Amino acid sequence: MDTASLIDDYFMLDMGLTPEERAVRDTIRHFVEVEVRPNAGRWWLEGVFPTELIPRLADLGVFGAMLPEEYGGAGLSAVGYGLIMQELERGDSGLRSLASVQSSLAMFAVYRFGSESQKLHYLPAMARGEMIGCFGLTEPDAGSDPGAMRTRALKTESGYVISGAKRWITNGNLAQMAVVWAKDDEGVIRGFIVPVESPGFRAKKIETKASMRMSVTSELYLDDVEVPQTALLPASRGLGSPLACLTQARYGIVWGVVGAALDCLAEVAEYVKTRVAFGRPLARTQLIQERLVDMLSRIVAMQLRAFQLGRLYQAGTLRPPQVSLAKRDNARAALEVARLAREILGGNGISVDYGPIRHMLNLETVDTYEGTYEVHTLAVGRDLLQENAF
Ligand code: TGC
Ligand code: FAD
């Protein structure tokens, strides 16, 4: 077997996939290889998301892939969805982020907590990529502890008036609709669908990022935004509602980061075969081999976690703390793989002509968002010991 095939599937997990899962993975992989990888470095440096990819991603069935067909989804398995995330993140974490937020956060929030008319109005249009969503939970002063949010949705005769600010919101300036989490008059967290053209709503792109540069990240300002009663996601109630959405997105991240790590290892494995130092290729050097094997070992562990999580998801037995442990460990392992890859590339490693520095800087975000390493450590600690140490 060639090096590239060995890297992709050292433990032959492919044999556990259905023909549909393999087909979806291969289709997205081809798309990313041809349309994304050659341009990713440039897009990342320019700090733009190539919006022309959105209809292409929709045509490939990426958005809401797990949702039922009546809502525009493909009814894909959890493993199939995970493989889509893996292949997108092989291209760039920012590409996977756009898809994660659209599918697992915005669409999932409507699917899980919305009324039937909200589902029929939003989900098919979002699956077609005609409408992009964002998910406003984090605030300038409430990130790890979203229960401390200050955004308020006060009841009026005809609906609600929402005031507050959200920060670090993926897709904020690309979106046509925002799922905004706010406390009602009783202090209970509820979800609202806010069209971005609503008077008083403003999104401002954050321009200073040295990570996730291909992803659009924004601040949202809501200055007395009036929304009708029909904007409320009626089944949302309490912090558990946004957290249920996060579990979906974290599941996707567990798979996604495998793609970034695979891309890093594949690139350096080819590089060391031809890069000569001290009269021989780096590949014939023990310390270099050890590093590559360490990277492979981390990737295999990441893949095993992702596959088993997918099986638990499909069996209906997945518990949020299991997702926490896998998100924590896969994001950190991918970051370590990317750092090793960058190092092995030497001076070339700091150029976006090669993938690892871009993946490495992106993965600093992935390690932080959707719950930091520490937050997930404490979530698992609480599960293990039944003691809350937050
Ligand atoms: P806690 O008492 O634990 O929970 C409150 C209620 O929620 C339930 N719950 C969950 N439900 C579903 N999934 C989960 N993962 C859940 N975790 C908890 C829980 O059972 C409880 O329900 P009930 O009925 O008893 O009320 O709440 P806490 O205040 O102690 O907080 C727990 C903590 C710290 C783990 C939570 O606040 C947390 O996860 N913080 C991290 C915040 C975070 O991850 N933010 C992410 C923002 S979105 C984002 O980053 C998008 S990036 C996307 C991209 O670009 O790809
Ligand atoms: P803080 O909560 O201020 O934490 C700072 C540090 O303190 C962290 O290291 C943390 O682990 C540590 N810490 C906090 N509490 C404890 C404790 N009890 N014990 C030990 N250590 C602790 N949010 C959204 O709602 N929607 C999005 O679409 C979105 N997209 C994002 C995109 C990007 C590029 C980024 C960077 C963030 C995004 N986020 C989004 C926000 C993200 O989820 C938060 O940044 C993250 O949850 C951490 O919150 P914080 O930045 O406020 O850090």
Confirm if 70 and 30 have CB atoms less than 8 A apart.
no
Q: Tens digit of pLDDT for each residue in 206-245?
A: 999 999 999 999 999 999 999 999 999 999 999 999 999 9
Give the closest ligand to the alpha carbon of residue 112: 1
Ligand nearest the Cα of residue 243 is 1
Please give the pLDDT value at position 259.
Answer: 98
| pLDDT tens per residue, range 153-184 | 999 999 999 999 999 999 999 999 999 999 99
Which of 383, 294, 311 is CA-nearest to residue 79?
Answer: 311
Structure tokens given for 1:
């077997």
Cα distances from 258 to residues 11, 105, 214, 305, 329, in angstroms, run: 14, 20, 19, 10, 11
* pLDDT score, position 59: 98
27 class by beta-carbon count within 10 Å (0-12 exposed, 13-18 middle, 19+ buried): middle
Q: Is the pTM of this model over 0.95?
A: yes
Q: How confident is the model at residue 112 (pLDDT cuts 50, 70, 90)?
A: very high
The proportion of the chain whose per-residue pLDDT surpasses 90, expressed as a percent, equals 100
Please provide the average confidence, as pLDDT, over all residues in the chain: 98
Kindly state the percentage of the chain with pLDDT values over 70: 100
- Tokens for 326? 């896998």
Q: How confident is the model at residue 269 (pLDDT cuts 50, 70, 90)?
A: very high
- The pLDDT of residue 223 is 98
Q: pLDDT tens digit string along 31-69?
A: 999 999 999 999 999 999 999 999 999 999 999 999 999
Q: Verify whether ligand 1 is closer than 6 Å to residue 320 (CB atom).
A: yes
Q: Which of 90, 92, 101 is nearest to 47 (CA)?
A: 92
Residue carrying structure tokens 């502890």: 145
Question: Whose C-alpha lies nearest to ligand 2, atom 21?
Answer: 374
Nearest CA to ligand 1 atom 46: 370
The pLDDT assigned to 130 comes to: 98
CA 285 to chain centre: 36
Cβ atoms 79, 307 nearer than 8 A: yes
CA-137 nearest atom, ligand 2 = 25
Q: Where residue 147 falls among pLDDT bands split at 50, 70, 90? A: very high
In this prediction, residues 378-383 reach a mean pLDDT of 98
pLDDT score at 292: 98
Interatomic CA distance for residues 334 and 210, integer angstroms: 18
* Cβ(249) – ligand 1 distance below 6 Å: yes
Q: Encode pLDDT of 300-316 as tens digits.
A: 999 999 999 999 999 99
Q: Using pLDDT thresholds of 50, 70 and 90, give the confidence band for residue 364.
A: very high
- CB of 76 within 8 A of CB of 252? no
> What does the pLDDT read at residue 214?
98
Please state the atom number of ligand 2 nearest to the C-alpha of residue 390.
Answer: 18
Query: What pLDDT is recorded for position 239?
Result: 98
Report the pLDDT value the prediction gives residue 329, as an integer from 0 to 100. 99
Mean pLDDT throughout 246-265?
98
State the Cα–Cα distance between residues 366 and 334, nearest whole angstrom.
10
Hey, what are 65's tokens? 């892939």
CA distance 176 to 133: 6
Average pLDDT (82-105) is 98
Point out the catalytic residue in the list 270, 370, 374, 387. 370
Ligand 2 atom closest to residue 209's alpha carbon, by position in its atom list: 34
Nearest CA to ligand 2 atom 20: 374
Question: What is the number of the ligand closest to the CA of 203?
Answer: 2
| Angle at which helices 356-368 and 240-274 cross, to 10° | 160
* Catalytic site includes residue 364: no
Residue whose Cα lies nearest atom 33 of ligand 2: it is: 168
Q: Give the distance, in angstroms, between the CA of residue 55 and the centroid of all CA atoms in the same chain.
A: 19
CB-based contacts of 307, cutoff 8 Å, min separation 6: 13, 16, 79
